[in-house]
Amino acid sequence: MKKYLLLFIIAIFVMSCSKKVEVKGKITGSSPLERIEFVEASGVGTLPLINIGLDKDGNFSGSFDAPKDGMYVINYASKQNLIYLEKGQKVNISGNGATFPNEYVITGDAKKNNDFLSASQKFLATYAGKVNLGALMGGDEAAFLKGMHKVEADINKNVDELAQKNNPSKGLLAWKKNDVKVTILNLLANYEMSHGPMSGNPSYKASKAFKDYETKLDDDKDAMVKSIPLYRQYLLVKMTPDFQKYAEANSKGKTDVTTSEMFAQYLKTKKDLSQTAKDYLLAFVMAQADIHPTSPAKNIDKIKKIIDTDIKDATIKSDLLKMQVAITGLKIGEDAPEAPLVKQDGKAYKLSENKGKPYMIFFYASWNPYIGEATVPVLKEVVNFYKSKMNFVFVNVDDTKDQFVKTSNSLLKGIQGVNVYGEKGMESEIAKKYGVYGFKLPCFVVVDKNGKIASRSFVNLGEMEVVTTLDQLTGLSAPKVNPNEQMQPQMQIDPSAQQQAPQPTAPQPAQTK
């Protein structure tokens, strides 16, 4: 009997520790080509945790591992909105295609938290129209501080009233209280930086009362830096003048130092910052300054080294490495990863079957808006020119194998190459290993005859670097044309998938919500 009781307790414990968030719902009036994504709003990698398709009636369902209880972003049809989720929740979301996710109805485990969140957002939208922020920012310091104290008190009063009505979780309430502080802190930073020039008093210095108020608000640094990207931005704005001086003094004679390298060195001098704050700030700067599609190979290696040596938090380290693979691709020279793939007839396929001949992997899905007229004609030209010297593997990441068969038969008809499918589409092993996300489709990776990665991850076949790489591997010489003539739309990083922060290379004003 005791044995069974112990197993029962273990089973309960395992269920209670589940990280999975299960989401389902219906978006009326939606298009089957649209997708829903969930992104951790407070993370540093800001990559989609899941990409979910909708059926012809607008129904959708999926589950994903939630890194933590907290704020997430819903992406749909180039629009975003916040939602608060906790690990292990079952959430039902519904809305209308014309207004979703700006407006949505939520039921299930997450209802009370998001009723609270929605009500607080509505209050802020209304309240912002009643506050003459321009007058406060342009007024004298005493009037500005008085105004800020009132704004803080009014918002917190509303938060307390809504908390009594909706009974949100302690985590969400704590986040909201800190969110109010961060909003005021950014207004204070903006005032301090702009008041001198605006008032015609360039010698303006903030008073003790101003600094004391700032210190009072800035009392929960680690919690705020972990959960609120706007706080990271606030800290960067405050550091910028000092960092600029440091960079000027330590960059003499150095021409190839990246912003991330210089900022990592600078952080080592900041004894007043916790390691947690340093990790988040350095990750924030790296994501903005040096992790981008056109990073030179030498800079990619530098960033990986900084991630390995200077970032101590394991989750941040992992997220940054995933982001780097997603944005720049796998490291040139390493083995091309294998992953389960199947042909239309159900037979398994391995990328290593191409060994002895260079090949290009082309990732695509039927729902991607750039796949048709923008990509296929250029792809056909590339294949026809190089097919005598290299192979082409077309990897479909649609939601079902049936859709793969239909898409490959119609879209790639007449184009020489191997058509294969990654089981589970965007959640497939092949997509994860090659850093394939919805914002990156379609994309291309070149592999040499030894099975080694030979190029960064491309999203545009019109780039001269693609032609140069293919020429080198095949010994052919493609006609040189203006790449703009064949250029497909460039990869667009989703706004919610890159937190906007000022580069710490020159003073910039703090942004407010």
SS3 of 270-308: CCCCCHHHHHHHHHHHHHHHCCCCCCCHHHHHHHHHHHH
Distance separating alpha carbons of residues 132 and 136, to the nearest angstrom = 7
The tokens 């006609």 sit on which residue? 479
pLDDT one-digit tens code per residue, 92-144: 999 999 999 999 999 999 999 999 999 999 999 999 999 998 899 989 999 99
Task: Let me know the angle formed at the C-alpha of 159 by 155 and 162, rounded to the nearest 5 degrees.
Answer: 135
**pLDDT exceeds 90 at position 221:** yes
Could you count the other beta carbons within 10 Å of the beta carbon of residue 233?
22
Secondary element (H or E) of residue 199: helix 170-199
Residue 171: predicted pLDDT: 95
3-state DSSP assignment of residue 24: strand
pTM of the full structure: 0.86
Which percentage of the chain shows pLDDT scores above 90?
Answer: 77
Residue 452: predicted pLDDT: 97
**Strand-pair category, 48-53 with 79-85:** unpaired
Segment 206-227 mean pLDDT = 96
97 within 8 A of 58, measured Cβ to Cβ = yes
Residue 8: predicted pLDDT: 41
pLDDT one-digit tens code per residue, 40-74: 999 887 899 999 999 999 999 999 999 999 999 99
Secondary element (H or E) of residue 429: helix 429-433
3-state DSSP assignment of residue 327: helix
Segment 319-341 mean pLDDT = 94
Residue 105: predicted pLDDT: 95
Backbone angles phi and psi of 95, in degrees to 5: -175, -175
The tokens 């703009």 sit on which residue? 484
Distance separating alpha carbons of residues 178 and 181, to the nearest angstrom = 5
**pLDDT exceeds 80 at position 11:** no
Could you count the other beta carbons within 10 Å of the beta carbon of residue 446?
23
**pLDDT confidence bin for 482, thresholds 50/70/90:** low
Segment 151-167 mean pLDDT = 97
The tokens 């990863």 sit on which residue? 337
